Structure 1
Amino acid sequence: MRSLSFAAAFLVTTLASVRAYSLVDNYSGSSFFDSFTFFTGSDPTHGFVDYVDAGTASSAGLTQVNNNIVYIYADNKTVASSAGRQSVRITSNKSYNLGLFLFDVNHVPYGCGTWPAMWLVGPNWPNSGEIDIFEGVNLQSVNQMTLHTQEGCTMASSRNQQGSVVSNNCWINAPGQASNQGCSVTNPEASSYGDNLNNGGGGVYATQWGNDGIYIWWYPRNGIPADISNGSPDPSTWRSPDAAFPLGSSCPNDFFANQQIVVDLTFCGDWAGSVYGSSGCPGSSCQDYVQNNPSAFDDAYWSINSFKVYQ
């Protein structure tokens, strides 16, 4: 019996170690931007934005690293040209299949006309999937988390999550949903977006992507689990997620592959522009507001401690 107990204990210990996450990438500090490519093409979401290259962003002060904190700004000094307000969109050079992604942010862009996002996306969109971890527009009050896929991925209306379901069909062309709406969940926490997030000192967005599903948590600065802070994250000990997207028979797990990290800030466009008139923002034209009011974007910046990827 003694040897059996020892064997059982060894097996449990071994299985636990197999399941444990190990840090594979830490995007932070002065080398942060070395691991990303700057996107300079036309905005796929039709925003009023001029995405600039790395050299332009650096010389214009739109990208900075101070005291190991990464800052990404939009232009807040000039009336924008017809090309749009200068901003930054970066994509990680490395892609991932499964893992735990911890995005530690102090401040996120906010304000009328803005459309910031932190997300994961695969090639040949939407066939390799998209996972929107943080996203919102204008004066939105809470974060929205969304999957975008090819046809054949749906979610149940009732799931073990904290958030509220907005839509259940992840297919970008799903009938009865707005174009490219995907399957969305809103976060119940006021601190998950905008001024409330910024005034609270930020926090950590955690995304667990496994074969069985994709799960997203928001932890404000004063509520980050100790295992995240000490570098040994264990999602099995966390509360139920803010958004749960189970994968399996109703949404094949191979719909998500080779995901790259993307951070961007666009303006107006398909979402922020389409709801601008009902958002409580000045005037009726999102583009006019964004073009002619540079100081309105003093708060439109990212402050990032780190992006960490565990597998």
Structure 2
Amino acid sequence: MLIFSALIPAVGLFVHLVTAAYKLQDDYGTSHTFFDNFDFFTAADPTKGYVDYVDRSTANKSGLIKASGGSLYIGVDSSNIASSPSRQSMRLSSTKSYTHGLVILDLEHMPGSVCSTWPAFWMLGDNWPSNGEIDIIEGVNQQPTNQVALHTSPGCSINDSRFSGSVDTSNCYVEASGQAANAGCAITSNCTQSYGDRFNKAGGGVYATEWTGEAIKVGSSRAPASPPILARAPPTLRAGVVLWRPLLEAATLTRTLENYRLYMFDITFCGSWAGDAWASGSCASKSSSCISYVQNNPSAFTETYWSVNSLKVYQDGSSLNNATVSADASSHTSIPLVSPTPRHAWKHAHNGYKHRQ
């Protein structure tokens, strides 16, 4: 059974669903060595965004990455008029890959709800879509709440009503009939403090993703109500400590999900979601086009950054020694960062807008 779940602010509504005894596998830390564990993507954006993904050296010199005061800053250029090739930004992916585990991301700040932006924190398998994709945090423009999504081969769909949020699309198969191309199965949270400006005004919070052989769960909690076990991520997570409330349950998954890299702190502009949605939303009043807005309004992006308190990955203690964890960055060189065909755009569709695939 494939399960998405969400942590919600009201502690009294939490229910216990996690039973594994987890042990810390990787603590990414908050010093500048954090970035030693990630590849800096510098190719053209697969989502056709108006963005210049820069390397680590350039990011350092431009102040797009910083480590200070026990937190990490990962942002975009908010000082300069953007000329060729486009506005500088970041797209990082972990040098390690994981099969199963618990990923806990404690954020002080995520990119705000800003016109033209498309931030995401996500996980991707080696062979898309057979090995799948999990979108943990994602949104565009002035979107008020988070969207969680899963993209797979045939065999997975939402078929249960036990969730808190709204179903945008129910079939996780990226070519499902009756859905926009690459939509997958997606839910929009009903928590107004799950994303962007309101998440930040609430003081940040925690996103947790649990992935076992039976289920995938994605959850969030506002900082004031975050269980200490999530906010501080101690060495061991024991049964009954992580508190969850179901968001949704989906059908049996018939495809293998394995060897996921953490694709995080991805911030692009415009492209095949934020750009395509520009004309139909309130952002259109700000500029004649999404690209023009990105080019000429650097100060609009002062809130377009991630501030990370911690990132930790746990494995089930009973199977830790057998966990699939690859530390060889060279083994990932064959991962297709750009799809071999135009319809394989790395993301899904939302309300009819094509994403990166």
TM-score normalised by length of structure 2: 0.77
Higher helix share: 1
**Does the alignment pair 1:167 with 2:169?**
yes
Task: Flag the structure with larger Rg.
Answer: 1
Q: Per chain length, whose mean CA-contact separation is higher, i.e. which structure has more relative contact order (CA < 8 Å, sep 6+)?
A: 2
Query: 2:139 maps to which residue?
Result: 136
Distance 1:22 1:116 in 2: 30
Residue 131 to residue 230, structure 1, CA distance change in 2 (3 Å):
closer
- Answer whether contact 1:247 1:253 (CA < 8 A) is retained: no
**Does the alignment pair 1:295 with 2:296?**
no
Query: How many residues end up aligned between the 2 structures?
Result: 289
Distance 2:45 2:170 in 1: 26
Q: Which runs of no fewer than 5 residues in structure 2 stay unpaired?
A: 1-18, 316-357
Query: 1:10 maps to which residue?
Result: none
The offset of 1:292, in angstroms, is 1.1
Calculate the aligned-residue CA RMSD, in Å. 1.7
Query: 2:347 maps to which residue?
Result: none
The offset of 1:79, in angstroms, is 1.3
What code does the residue aligned with 1:287 have? I
Matches within 5 A, 1:300-311: 300-311=304-315
SS in 1 for 2:245: coil
SS in 1 for 2:193: helix
Query: 2:332 maps to which residue?
Result: none
Distance 1:159 1:96 in 2: 30
- Answer whether contact 2:20 2:238 (CA < 8 A) is retained: no
What code does the residue aligned with 1:149 have? T
Distance 1:268 1:233 in 2: 40
The offset of 1:226, in angstroms, is 2.9
Query: 1:19 maps to which residue?
Result: 20
Query: 1:283 maps to which residue?
Result: 287
**Does the alignment pair 1:42 with 2:44?**
yes
Residue 148 to residue 199, structure 1, CA distance change in 2 (3 Å):
same
- Answer whether contact 2:233 2:312 (CA < 8 A) is retained: no
SS in 2 for 1:76: coil
Percent of counterpart pairs with the same letter? 46
The offset of 1:21, in angstroms, is 0.5
1:173-220 CA-partner distances (Å, limit 9, x unpaired): 222212211110111111101111111111100111111111111111
SS in 1 for 2:181: coil
Query: 1:239 maps to which residue?
Result: 244
- Answer whether contact 2:162 2:249 (CA < 8 A) is retained: no
SS in 1 for 2:94: strand
TM-score normalised by length of structure 1: 0.88
Q: Which runs of no fewer than 5 residues in structure 1 stay unpaired?
A: 1-17
Matches within 5 A, 1:121-270: 121-156=124-159, 158-228=160-230, 229=232, 231=234, 232-234=236-238, 236=240, 238-242=243-247, 244-246=248-250, 248=252, 251-252=253-254, 254=256, 256-263=257-264, 264-270=266-272
SS in 1 for 2:72: strand
**Does the alignment pair 1:52 with 2:57?**
no
Residue 91 to residue 245, structure 1, CA distance change in 2 (3 Å):
farther
